[in-house]
Amino acid sequence: MRNKNISFWLFLTPVFISLGLVVIIPLLFGVFYSFTDWNGLGFNEFVGFDHYLNVLQEERFLNSLWFTIKFAIVTVIVLNILGLALALLVTKGLKSSNLLRTIFFMPNLIGGLILGFLWQFIFVNVFSSIGDWLGTEGLQGWLSTPGTGFWGLVILTSWQMAGYIMIIYIAYLQNIPSELIEASQVDGANAFQEFKNIIFPMVAPAFTVSMFLTLSTSFKIYDQNLALTNGGPFNSTEMVSLNIVFTAFTSNELALGQAKAVIFFLFVAIIAITQVYYTKKREVDL
Write down the pLDDT at residue 244. Answer: 93
User: Which pLDDT score is estimated for 284?
Assistant: 46
Mean pLDDT score, 74-89: 92
Secondary structure letter of residue 47 according to DSSP: -
pLDDT the model gives residue 71: 95
Q: What one-letter code names the amino acid at 9?
A: W
Are 149 and 233 in contact, with CB atoms under 8 Å apart? yes
pLDDT at 126 > cutoff 90: no
Distance from C-alpha of 262 to C-alpha of 255, rounded to nearest angstrom: 11
What backbone torsions phi and psi does residue 36 show, to the nearest 5 degrees? -125, 180
pLDDT at 1: 54
- Segment 168-220, tens digit of pLDDT: 999 888 888 877 877 877 777 777 877 877 888 888 888 888 888 888 889 98
Radius of gyration of the chain from its Cα atoms, rounded to whole angstroms: 23
Contact present, 245 and 264 (Cβ < 8 Å): no
Q: From CA 52, how far away is CA 43, in angstroms rounded?
A: 17
26-35, 49-58, 103-112: which range is least confident on average?
103-112
User: Which DSSP helix (H) or strand (E) runs through 152?
Assistant: helix 146-173
Q: For 46, phi and psi rounded to 5 degrees?
A: -85, 140
Cα distances (Å, whole numbers) of residue 238 to 12, 67, 146, 221, 271: 39, 7, 10, 10, 20
Q: Sign of the C-alpha dihedral, residues 213, 218, 219, 224?
A: positive
Q: Is residue 235 left, alpha or beta, with left meaning phi > 0 and alpha meaning psi from -120 to 50?
A: left
Residue 4 is predicted with a pLDDT of 63
pLDDT in tens, 3-16: 567 777 888 888 88
pTM: 0.86
Under 8 Å between Cβ of 180 and 255: no
In sequence order, the β-bridge partners of residue 36 are 46
Give the residue extent of every domain in the chain: 50-285
At the topology level, CATH places domain 50-285 in MetI-like fold (1.10.3720)
Neighbours of 62 (CB within 10 A): 13
